[in-house]
Amino acid sequence: MSTTRENVLIRLQKIDRRWIYLVLWLVVMIPLLFPFKIQPQPSPTVEKLFNYIDTMPENKALAISVDFTPDTRAELQPMVVALMRHAFAQKRRVGLLAISVYGLGLAEEAIQQVTAEFNTNARTHEDSVIYGEDYVFWGWTTPVLTVMLGMGERITNVFPVDYYGNRTESLPIMRYIKNYDDIGILVTIAASAIPRSWINYAQVQFGVNLSCGITAVSAADFYPYVNSGQFIGMLAGMKGAAEYEQLVAQRMKKNGMDWALRNRGTEAMSSQTAAHLAIMAFIVIGNIAYFATRRKRK
């Protein structure tokens, strides 16, 4: 091997990591500024959850447990938004709660966003979403056991006041959502092992249907629960969020709600694609440089 080539390979291996950071920054930024249209195709696990909520009986509510914190907001917040849009589009009641105190603000942000979308575009009173009638934000309490086991008996005992300080017993919606029996499915959106706790406590004791939206880091670990049927489908990372957004957009269009809403998960797909290719290139280049210099040393 020539000395020049060897020097290049050695320098490649010892490159200052800040050059790698810069390349990554550009690779992610440019597609955001100049996106290429790229439609995610829903995977079976996403479709399973979507179809379940889509065909849920009218008297059953969707419960969303916002179990994540601001660090994973980018991946998981789009899931909360998409789920709420889906439920409202299908005129299903929604109940939200947070297992972590730091998830409260995120749930509130999602509620403000989605209710503004629906109420801005509503043409009739029936199309609008009203707090206390169409949805409720139970808020947060601790510890986890109190929430997961208590909700199976009576939700108003677990959350005597909602997030806004209203007595939950006084809300009209709570006449229809007393405990898990009135919940068609509870979707836990989490970045940790909390979904396992939902299975262990809520599902084992009360048989509530569960699903989860999980960060991609943990997604692979939760497939055994999807396989066993303990989770009805699953949303994995930003990809799962983007796929669900697409399905919800199609459903809303069918329902006459073609409002051109912003889908953050889908928007990220072009950057995600470019970044994945960049990481793969880093790995390949790193390995080529490594093996080439190793062969030279031999």
Interaction between residue 11 and other proteins (CB under 8 A): no
- Pick the binder of other proteins from 2, 3, 4, 17 (CB under 8 A): 17
- Pick the binder of other proteins from 5, 217, 253, 296 (CB under 8 A): 217
Interaction between residue 176 and other proteins (CB under 8 A): no
Instruction: Provide, rounded to whole angstroms, the least separation between the CB of residue 93 and other proteins.
Output: 22
Contacts of 163 (CB under 8 A, 6+ apart): 104, 107, 108, 137, 138, 139, 140
- Pick the binder of other proteins from 87, 129, 186, 269 (CB under 8 A): 269
- Pick the binder of other proteins from 219, 235, 247, 257 (CB under 8 A): 219
Interaction between residue 184 and other proteins (CB under 8 A): no
- Pick the binder of other proteins from 156, 188, 203, 211 (CB under 8 A): 203
Say if residues 180 and 151 touch (Cβ distance below 8 Å): yes
- What is the footprint of other proteins within residues 66-125 (CB under 8 A)? 69-75, 101-102, 104-106, 108-109
**143 upstream amide cis, omega within 30 of 0:** yes
Q: Is the CB of 1 or the CB of 280 nearer to other proteins?
A: 280
- Pick the binder of other proteins from 2, 3, 4, 33 (CB under 8 A): 33
Instruction: Provide, rounded to whole angstroms, the least separation between the CB of residue 92 and other proteins.
Output: 26
- Pick the binder of other proteins from 94, 110, 252, 268 (CB under 8 A): 268
Q: How many residues bind other proteins (CB under 8 A)?
A: 92
Instruction: Give alpha helix (H) positions in 2-161.
Output: 3-13, 17-33, 44-54, 73-89, 104-121, 144-150, 155-158
Helix (H) or strand (E) holding 94: strand 94-98
* Both structure tokens of 240: 């799962």
3-class DSSP assignment, residue 167: strand
Burial class of residue 154, CB neighbours in 10 A (0-12, 13-18, 19+)? middle
Interaction between residue 20 and other proteins (CB under 8 A): yes
Interaction between residue 282 and other proteins (CB under 8 A): yes
Angle (CA) 45-137-107 rounded to 5° is: 60
Say if residues 100 and 71 touch (Cβ distance below 8 Å): no
- What is the footprint of other proteins within residues 123-162 (CB under 8 A)? 139-143, 145-146, 149-150, 153, 157-158, 160-161
Q: Near other proteins by CB under 8 A, which window of 84-92, 117-125, 175-183, 233-241?
A: 233-241
Strands of 143-278, DSSP E = 183-190, 210-214, 234-236
Say if residues 163 and 141 touch (Cβ distance below 8 Å): no
Q: Is the CB of 84 or the CB of 203 nearer to other proteins?
A: 203
